[in-house]
Structure 1
Amino acid sequence: MEHLQPVRQNEFTGLFEGYNVIFITAEGFSGYMIDPELTPTLYQMSTEGFVFKNFYTPLHFTSTSGGEFQNLTGLYPRAGFPVSLTESGKRSTYLPFTLANALNGEDYTSIGYHFNQNMYGRELSHPNLGYEWRQADACGRPVTKETNESGREYWPQSDDYMVEQTFADYVDREPFNIYYLTISMHLPYGYDSNEMSRRNWEQVEDLPYSDKTKAYMAAGMELEKGLTHLLEDLEEAGIADHTLIAMAPDHVPYSDLDILEELAGRDFGSDSVETLDEENVDLDVYRNTWILWSAGMKEPVEVEKICSQVDILPTMLNLLGVEYDSRLLAGTDVFSDQEGMAIFFSRSWITDQGTYSRYTEEFQPAPGVEMTEEEQNVYVENKKYVADCRLRLGELIIETDYYRKAVP
């Protein structure tokens, strides 16, 4: 740790200090589905706030839980069992830098919601992250799922219904820090297999896509509706201008990359990365949208730096004016002077300087970047070491409870 230099504060430090926070991990979401006419709220929030033009959501172990771990801890999960987020709850690992644990010290109300049964041990992990945790079971205040007239629970549940059922819980408890784990875009994608796809089918049935891709889009419409109603509720309550909303995926639809190929209009080289085999996959399949937006922003801020899910937490801590030790996270504040880097499960990586393939061991400089062969060799060896260290950091912190030893 003594060899690492902490990042400096910058012009964005404390920009949203004291704001309410709503953080959304969006199940199976890809920015390739955003459309200005079909999803106007998603389009507004992704183009009128901070616009991260080179944001990636690399798939790591355990998909949803691994994605949550990156989003919420700024660390990469262990590349195998035990599952990092689950283990952190079982061990009651000290995690002082999570949004909830950090903001609770500033008298925030921190509540997390997931309209599904208990999975991945969230009944332990999410309270340990600092949230009053509410899911359909195994918690102090279970949520009530939406059902049809016969009492049958819908699958998947509605993100719009989740917002409708929960907003009153926290609107009068400012400052609040709310976490939503959505579920409407959970696979499988089909008119007969996904209630949200069926519910919104009329809006997508004339799109020039396969039925599976239409079903994916239709499921995403339920998230769109939920976000639309959330913004309306915040506006009506008179608190939209001092509420910061963040949204990032847990993972792309890893078993259905053909959906993303249709939406993006390009070939990504594989129909699935479910086994985490990235040898023949175009890494742009992980290119995604990170929403970071507040109604109080006067104009968009474009960010060219390479970034990924682990960078979300340090960036938000900086924006909220929360002190943290930047040396103890795998991610970095995107507004710092550190170089951007996205690291993939295969140990391939992308930086502002170029792309390295672990399979071919070749480095392709980014457009406009010039290096001598010697400079390139030194750069690649350095970044390979950095990638290995960052991928290992989360596992070591969970296994040794390192923060409890290192952080006052």
Structure 2
Amino acid sequence: MKTSLSLLSLAATAALVTACGGGGGGGSGASNPPPVQLGTVAVSLTDAPACGFDAVNVTVSKVRIHQSSSASDTDSGWTDITLSPARKINLLNLTNGALEALGQASLSAGSYSQLRLVLEGTTGANTVVKTGSTTETPLDTPSALQSGIKLVNQFDVAAGQRVDLVLDFDACKSVVSKGNSGYSLKPVVKVVPTALNGINGFIATAALASHVAVTAQQNGVIVAATTPNPSSGEFALTRLPAGNYDVVITGDGMAASVVGAVPVTASAMTQLSTVAAPIAPAVSIGRNIGGNVTQTPVSATEPAFVSAMQSITNGPLVTIKYSATPVGGGAYSITGLPGAAPRYVTYSSTLPLGFVTATTTPAAGIYRVDASATGYATKSTPAVDVSVADQANVNFSLTP
């Protein structure tokens, strides 16, 4: 999430891998030009959690690559990786670091600055299936996407070498409600490291029916999210930039489990638990916070996001759960917030980790609730108390 909110039922992430290597050729002699030196590009896709949908389907038709970051889709000089036929992919099938290979192409050696991910815009090409339903609902795809989702990222291709790139397609953040008019696609895509680094572990399988989500956060902002494997409870938060992260494990009817200051390197996985000793979240009563968010002026493209957050004493600020409004504002509902305090432990390489009940600000069952939207100032209600009852009228008015 690139706003100050953090996701809990979280954003699906899809990664598109592009690789470069190959050979070149050409004649010899003074009358012939020097041989063109080539590299090769290959592409794959990955994703994260469920976020209220059982499927988020996008149909990829091609990936385009250009040396200039300012090149338009009609300029010359593009190299295309074309999928024939175009491939419909459920992003929510690609959890815990899995990749979907999309193809490869050769590139001249040199520097490149722009990629475009081109989606089909035909009827039925892009759809969602809400959790508990079997019906595919069309995902409205703006005509502007037919020229491709533009990604500016510098990478170099050496002759005869392979370069891997991963495009992270955040499925859940890319699906926005239009109220009673269905859903539209507002793509959120970024370039992330190819190496399978990050954070992994196991959640007790007895907890998995509670819609468990695992997030990696920094100062309450969710950087990555996933859901555990439904059979084994294994999870992996992959392809994270090196640094320290707070891992937050949440679900319906359970207290949040937080591991603070988890170190991540660029080339390895940091393990938080094992299959023999999985993390077992504590039971908690679940509460709801709801209300309405208005945007003045009303946005034609941007939803608002509402996050329930707590600061752990001598620990981090974390987001427990969040909700999105329809485009332009409207009703939201954050469900299943724990009435119990989080269980907390600072990371240690010695496993199993020893969680203890944390003290927080606000106190257990009380949350700081933030509302934000792109282009609007964030508003905050400092202490929404759900320790005894749900709160149904926590409203916000956002202005630039």
Question: TM tier, shorter chain?
Answer: under 0.3
Kindly indicate which of the two structures has a greater share of residues assigned to helix: 1
Q: Which has the larger radius of gyration?
A: 2
Kindly indicate which of the two structures has a greater share of residues assigned to strand: 2
Q: Which has the higher contact order (CA 8 A, sep 6+)?
A: 1
Q: TM-score, normalised by structure 1?
A: 0.24
